[in-house]
Chains A and B, each alone.
Chain A
């Protein structure tokens, strides 16, 4: 199975900060990676797919980059509405696997 290692587990930042979350795959997944945002009590929502493609309707302050085994999600200017837990997921090989999550606090 492909292991997804996400860091940091928790991130505390201020409104307006640039925030970066990283995700490392245990083997290459080319660009078959998605990022999700999950707010408390809600279902996850896809932000980024194919490593760097922004899902329709997602604010442009979110961006994704990387390929192979190293990936990152960046929030250009953190907003109060961005308080959530963020997960990466590889969908290159079965079983699809998620990172452990990063909780973003303000």
Chain B
């Protein structure tokens, strides 16, 4: 069946970087764009952006430019979100989600905690 499996929780110090992976199975990786969504503790959903799994072309929401980078490894059917220069405000659960009929399949989420 269609699945998105994300990497495990991360604890980072301010100023560090983190790279989260999202591995897909059950469908052709390049058929659908991948989106990323952030959810800070107790808060709503923020659309971080998305990446075309065909061309690798990214789109970012305002507020998620500069320190946020998407990448692909098509051979591994995996998408990555890298965040650099982390601050405590980046503490959140990050979800990958397939863009089809809205966001129809979601990863389980990766918790990133930034604390000194």
Contacts and interface: CB of A to CB of B under 8 A. Distances in A.
Q: Are both chains from one complex?
A: yes
A45 B106 contact: yes
Interface of B: 35, 37, 44-47, 49-50, 59-62, 95, 97, 99, 101-104, 106-109
A62 interface: no
Nearest to B107: A43
Given A45-B106, A49-B102, A87 B44 contact: yes
Contacts of A44: 37, 45, 95, 97, 103, 106
A98 B45 contact: yes
A81 interface: no
Given A43-B95, A95-B61, A100 B44 contact: yes
Contacts of A97: 47, 61
Contacts, number: 64
Chain A interface residue count: which class? 20 to 34
A96 B64 CA distance: 13
Interface in A46-99: 46, 48-50, 53, 55, 87, 89, 91, 94-99
Question: What 9 A-B pairs are tightest by C-beta distance, nearest first?
Answer: A34-B102, A95-B61, A49-B101, A43-B106, A49-B102, A98-B45, A96-B47, A101-B44, A46-B102
Interface of A: 1, 34, 36, 38, 43-46, 48-50, 53, 55, 87, 89, 91, 94-101
Contacts of B35: 96
A99 B95 CA distance: 17
Contact of A55 (B61, B99, B104, B108): B104
Q: Which of A36, A50, A101 has the most CB of B within 10 A?
A: A36
A94 B59 contact: yes
A95 B104 CA distance: 18
B101 A50 contact: yes
B101 A55 contact: yes
A93 B7 CA distance: 29
A101 B101 CA distance: 19
